[in-house]
Amino acid sequence: MTRILRSIRFNIFLGSLIAFFAAVGTILPQLGQEPQKANAFMQAHPWWTKFFSFFGMFDLYHSWWFMSILALMAVDIVLCKLWNKPPDVGIVSLPPELTDEEDLEKHLDKKEAALKLKPFQAFFGSKMGFDDASRAARGHLRREGYHVKEEFFLPGQAGAFAATKHRIQRWGSYFAHIGLVVILIGAMIRSVFGFVEMVPVLEGGSRRMQHMFDPRSFVQRVEQLFWGHPWSMKEPVDVYVDKFTIEYYKGTMDPKLFASNARVMTGDQLLGQKIIRVNHPLDVHGVRFYQASWGAGGMFRSVTLKLGKETLKLPQRVPVKIPGTPFTVEADMMLPNFTITDGQADTASLDLKNPAVRLMFSVGPHQTSPLWLLKNYSDLCFTEDANGQLTHAPSPPFQLAGIDPILFSGIQVAYDPGFPIVVLGAIMWLLGMIALFYMHRRRIWVLLESSGSGTCRVNLGAWSSRGVREYEAEFRGLAKSLRAELKSEDNFQLTENPIVEVS
């Protein structure tokens, strides 16, 4: 079992599985985020609804099996990538390190043989003594940004040291994988302790939230410990929309801006108040109230009828006498985007694109069949029979001149205690990727041997985590500047497999 969990293929399979179900959760409407769309889907597809409901697909991100996949992915990453300590070097295989020997001659022979295995080599003579040349070479490499580590040093005779640049790259893959584990932990915390709820509220009204917070929960105890302001209440929470504002693009019914003057109350206690707009939520101790949507239901303050040169204002479900006639008219229902489905009046959406109003006329105790008038099509109307079936009617002598609808504000309430952890994991992953791909590691080995008479011989070997061609120019420049630092007057040789001599 451990062998399977430590398999890279199994790791890729789990990642693909999570991505697939995340895509399903994006396509399939979720009850917590889009309850209206989810309910519409359930009504339209009863067979699929049974199947999806059995597996909890309408609340996918909180289902036990999805959280189990996330947990398994976290365990798999730990076993597959983070099991070794110290961490492996990711995609980079380091060349073998030079080892110490008791016998100096054999030791130097092995050193030179090891240097010849490096992608780049260079050697030259120096007119400086061994000790001075060693100090100068170390100082020069440090100024170039290299970290120098001594391997062995025999004063006045020979020595070797390794210089490394961007050592952090070795930890890049390790750090990125830790970030992925942290992200998965944050996602699981959100699934267990967080929620998303859509709360539609009529303008001037309120709506009670379904979710309540338990102040004794572990997450809120942690929040109280660190932030000191938990949402610790036992009473239900009500969301109020005192005013809803909407602006349209000129000449269209497409919304340009919509905002709600929202209040959040628990009993008589005000928890928070703000004019919320898209991307400008109200934050109440970690619980965020977003302006997510808007729409029109069947409610309206009044409609205006135009009868010749006269107008008549009709409040909803209030009979109004038509002046100069024995008729009384009552407007009882509005559909924001009128359409006909199976011969009956319906709305295609909650947008005010094609509003229609149902009117009922009466004379004394006698009432006529309901009549549907369309605001955008004044010459079109329908009568409705007892079964709700519509029939075209002749153009009436009056028109629907205006509607003052009562809009609702769709407020999405989200509580995500795992969000800071996910952000931390994302930052760790990003830093790991930057270290891994943008801070490529270089290493230079320097072997110095005394040649007597105050001179020494310098051998260089180099390696880079990237291709040799990308490091070639940098190494040539570094070898030449080091030669100048060590006061070398003879031509030096810089070789690369296959050997290339450079003056």
- CA 425-426-431 angle, 5° bins: 100
Return the pLDDT at 21: 86
Query: What secondary structure does DSSP assign to 180-222, as a single string?
Result: HHHHHHHHHHHHHH-EEEEEEEETT-EEE-S----TTSHHHHH
The structural domains of the chain, with segments of one domain joined by +, span 1-80, 104-166+440-496, 298-403
* Residue with the two structure tokens 């338990």: 214
Segment-wise mean pLDDT, segments of 10 residues, the chain, 503 residues = 68 83 83 73 82 82 80 77 52 46 65 78 88 92 90 82 86 85 87 84 90 54 50 72 88 82 90 91 89 87 88 92 88 92 89 90 87 89 92 88 90 88 92 87 89 87 79 87 83 48 35
Tell whether pTM > 0.85: no
- The pLDDT assigned to 115 comes to 79
pLDDT for 470 equals 77
How far is it, in rounded angstroms, from Cα 346 to Cα 306? 24
Cis bond before residue 336 (omega within 30° of 0): no
Asked if 364 contacts 329 with a C-beta cutoff of 8 angstroms, the reply is no
Write down the architecture of domain 104-166+440-496 according to CATH: 2-Layer Sandwich (3.30)
Distance CA 74, CA 177 (A): 9
What are the tokens at 438? 């943008």
Q: What is the pLDDT of residue 498?
A: 36
Angle between helices 169-193 and 64-80 (to 10 degrees): 160
Distance of alpha carbon 259 from alpha carbon 301, whole angstroms: 20
Report the distance separating Cα 166 and Cα 438, nearest Å.
10
The confidence score (pLDDT) of residue 230 equals 44
State residue 139's pLDDT score. 93
Neighbouring C-beta atoms of residue 209, cutoff 10 Å: 19
For 248-258, what is each residue's pLDDT tens digit? Answer: 888 776 788 88
Helix, strand or coil, per DSSP, at residue 455? strand
